Amino acid sequence: MGGQGADGITRVDSKDVAKALKAEVFPVLRKAGFTHFKSRTAWRDSDSTIAVVDFRSMGSSLGSAVGVTSHYFGGGAGLYYKDLHSTPWATEPLPALPEEWCCQARRVLRKSIWQLWCRRPDVWYVKRSGSNLASVVDDVLRAVEEQALPWLNELGNPAVALEAFESRPESEMRRGIMLESLGGQLNSFARAERASALALARGDRDRARAAWTRMLANPYYKAPSDLRSLAEARVALL
């Protein structure tokens, strides 16, 4: 465990949590095809995507903001679509191991256990003594198997992802707590960027152009702006 406090009671720290996740969760991810691991993050490479599963520590500042200690943690899955780097306007290289927060599609994991001292559905609470660490990790494993992996398999299909970017609204666990993020509101710049890239990869220029057309028709982008000009320039390339 992390060490003893002044009162002689053993307490866990973030390293203990990471060690438990590595021992119990990473083997399941490895079996599911994940091949790169670093601390609390795992990556799986495929022809069209890079899948990411990440267990982020709250950190001292964020932990204080949401009312938990720094070794509490949340979990998320993400998909980075390689086709975004094959468009006529792409300039940045494809990252080998993108962070979860950089992914174009993201899914926050929901815990299934009720915790008196942390009622947020997206944060697992680990007692300072570590007495509930095993049960917490069991619940994380359940979330990976029942939420993360099925979602990654679903949105890892480029055809399904394209339809999702075009028409699937974002969702929340409850107000202010994200469940699934796909690039903001429908017909946003980010949505158009993602949908057009996937459409182009499928050889469908009309569908790619339509994504930008819907974005330009969105009242939010009606006034002249850098984003509107950029979108118009991308339509011209199609």
Q: Give residue-wise pLDDT tens across range 94-117.
A: 999 999 999 999 999 999 998 887
The predicted structure's pLDDT at residue 219: 96
Confidence of residue 65 (pLDDT cuts 50, 70, 90): low
Q: For residue 164, what are its two tokens? A: 């999702």
pTM, 2 dp: 0.90
CA torsion, ordered 216, 217, 219, 222, to nearest 10 deg: 50
Would the pLDDT of 155 be above 90?
yes
What average pLDDT does the chain have?
91
Q: How confident is the model at residue 70 (pLDDT cuts 50, 70, 90)?
A: low
Give the pLDDT confidence score for residue 33 in this predicted structure.
98
Distance CA 42, CA 65 (A): 27
pLDDT range class, residue 7, cuts 50, 70, 90: very low
What pLDDT, on the 0 to 100 scale, is given for residue 59? Answer: 59
Residue 205 pLDDT greater than 80, yes or no? yes
Listed in order, strand segments (DSSP E) in 95-150 are: 105-108
Residue 66 has pLDDT above 80, yes or no: no
Q: Sketch the domain layout of the chain as residue ranges.
A: 3-182, 185-238
Q: In what order do the strands lie in the sheet containing 41-45?
A: 36-38, 41-45, 49-57, 73-81, 105-108, 177-181, 171-174
> CA 171, 136, 66: angle at the middle one, nearest 5?
55
pLDDT, tens only, 40-61: 999 999 999 999 999 988 755 4
Lowest mean pLDDT of 70-74, 229-233, 234-238, name the range: 70-74
Is the model's pLDDT at 8 over the cut of 50? Answer: no
Task: Lowest mean pLDDT of 20-29, 109-118, 175-184, 203-212, name the range.
Answer: 109-118
- What percent of the chain has a predicted confidence (pLDDT) above 90? 77
Confidence of residue 228 (pLDDT cuts 50, 70, 90): very high
Mapped onto helix, strand or coil, the DSSP state of residue 172 is strand
